[in-house]
Amino acid sequence: MTPMPDPTVLLARAGARATITIHRPDKLNALDAAAIDELRRVLLDVRQDASVRAVVITGSGSKAFVAGADIGELAALDPIAARAMAARGQHVFDLVEQLGKPVIAAVNGYALGGGCELVLACTLRIASDAAKFGQPEINLGLIPGYGGTQRLPRLVGKGRALDLLLRGSTIDAQEALRIGLVDRVVPAGELMTSAETLADELATKAPQAVRAILEAVNRGLDLPLADGLRHEAALFGLVAATADMKEGTRAFLDKRAPVFTGQ
């Protein structure tokens, strides 16, 4: 009997928090096609699980979050396969961004190429002080294919993004914080505690309001302001009809902590 291969993406649950770990430590957690497919399966599982209200994504070991794509796979691509590979990766990273639940990147080491693109797709980003970031695809004669040319300028601005994309340089955690690529830098030993604490805090919020905020922001960035405001008003109306809205306002008036059920 052929033994089952070790999983490349691990999923653990703790209360309302799920932790997804990219698990290819011998390859610095590089994302090959199998890992991308496994990540998609895990994300769909988490999205459908109403008991999960916040997610942490990290990498195995202390050296790397995700050190990019599998270069061996890249070297063998023809144009048609390359386009399909990019589309598949973009779809999976879109799932991260559009999960409807906060996704926190806990960046424990190298986040290069596809790893940096995965960080960009997350809702919030906490980095170890030992983390490194970059989009080095230009040094391989390539461009980012999992959303880096689109999400990076939206996050840090056009000029800073082009500097990273065209030079293929690597920056440390403090520089990533300065330009807005990450939201917080913590000592390496505090990374997972910080990410889990934030996830647990976000998991206490009203799930439908969280989902509406994520939708309003993500969709609104691609709309003219007037259209974005109309979409916000529509979502505001929908959320106002929820039991959680009634619980939240009543709890405030009663001077107690609300208990949100997602209804």
What is this structure's pTM? Answer: 0.93
Residue 261 lies in a domain: no
Flag whether pLDDT at 75 surpasses 70.
yes
CATH number at residue 233: 1.10.12
Mean local confidence (pLDDT), 79-108: 95
Q: How confident is the model at residue 187 (pLDDT cuts 50, 70, 90)?
A: very high
Higher pLDDT, residue 62 or 109: 109
Flag whether pLDDT at 22 surpasses 90.
yes
Of 38, 73, 97, 137, the catalytic one is 137
pLDDT digit string, tens, across residues 204-241: 999 999 999 999 999 999 899 999 999 999 999 999 99
- pLDDT for 155: 96
Judge whether 137 counts as a catalytic residue. Answer: yes
Count of CB atoms situated within 10 Å of the CB of 113:
28
- Mean pLDDT across the chain: 94
Task: Give me the domain span that covers residue 112.
Answer: 9-202
CATH number at residue 192: 3.90.226.10
Residue 260 lies in a domain: no
> What total number of domains does the chain contain?
2
Judge whether 215 counts as a catalytic residue. Answer: no
Which tokens is 261 given?
A: 């059920």
Flag whether pLDDT at 1 surpasses 50.
no
- pLDDT for 2: 47
- pLDDT for 17: 97
Mean local confidence (pLDDT), 30-58: 96
Residue 263 lies in a domain: no
Q: How confident is the model at residue 4 (pLDDT cuts 50, 70, 90)?
A: low
Q: Are residues 37 and 157 in the same domain?
A: yes
Flag whether pLDDT at 201 surpasses 70.
yes
Question: Residue 156, SS3?
Answer: helix
pLDDT digit string, tens, across residues 125-182: 999 999 999 999 999 999 999 999 999 999 999 999 999 999 999 999 999 999 999 9
Structural contact between residues 120 and 155, judged by C-beta atoms closer than 8 angstroms: yes
Q: How confident is the model at residue 72 (pLDDT cuts 50, 70, 90)?
A: confident
Q: Are residues 151 and 97 in the same domain?
A: yes
Count of CB atoms situated within 10 Å of the CB of 230:
12
Any idea what the Cα angle at residue 188 is, between residues 177 and 145, rounded to 5°? 55
Quick one: DSSP state of residue 205?
Answer: S
Residue 168 lies in a domain: yes
Q: Are residues 194 and 212 in the same domain?
A: no
Of 38, 117, 196, 232, the catalytic one is 117
